[in-house]
Chains A and B, each alone.
Chain A
């Protein structure tokens, strides 16, 4: 049996890092680039956080696939990666 990762930490990290609050007016599938929330430093910080917190190593091909664009897509990606690692 595998445990789902606690991806709420990602939400808290993004809220703290980018001074936003996810709610009905700012849903989790918001494109953080298009909304002007994500900047270069913050994006790299987020990337480092995910690597450290969930033990994920990002490959270059992952990064050209628009995976770190919204909280929803990041949650899905982290869940998938950790599940794949547990299964291997």
Chain B
């Protein structure tokens, strides 16, 4: 692997290598000195064109635990906001000798362009409504840790499929790893062309819940309502929100996941988000391990860490 741009292009072997490496990285977090010397002298640039404190911090912690030098380059207050192009920014980073660029960008595909303009590795930390591969990897890691496997599990993804990079990345990765994926959303938030995805589509959450081993809730942005994707927040919550009654309809061992940030009371009720079945906090912790694994595999080569 030279770059991590999508999960659609990720092979099963590469995906499993990331998850297995992340298991080792997770043990580092349990040590009193949470640091490995692996990437000493390497430079990781966090290039964020969108605000995302959570993802940026997660990558920063991951890189620092591997002893890399981390530079945070955020679009706000930089030359980018003065109209500098993505290409010029890429050339600047190139001149500074970035070994890896972690890129978050509001435009789908921006990391693909970046990968053509820099010599270092590019990690897609979320591009527009396209993909968010490390989120999917950390979700798969979380499921595997909790339920012991991915193969054969039924995973239901609920929410704004049209605009969700998390949904796309999870759908590809989980299907590559042998899970059965069901997508649930109001028809207005299902993209035209979805029939070619390796997933089932349903408009009826209640019909799907009893058969789900994992239910992954996606954030629904309020502005979608004003664009007539659904009539009211209340109606969305009634039809597609996960509350205690719906949680009770799920198998007892089934997990509730959310990539955050959550809109409590909208797509997920507070008591569900805070229940023992919810993995929301674990997902954050696992995010660091998975991002360490990805940075290690892209920058450190293929030799075994253990």
Q: Do A and B bind each other?
A: no
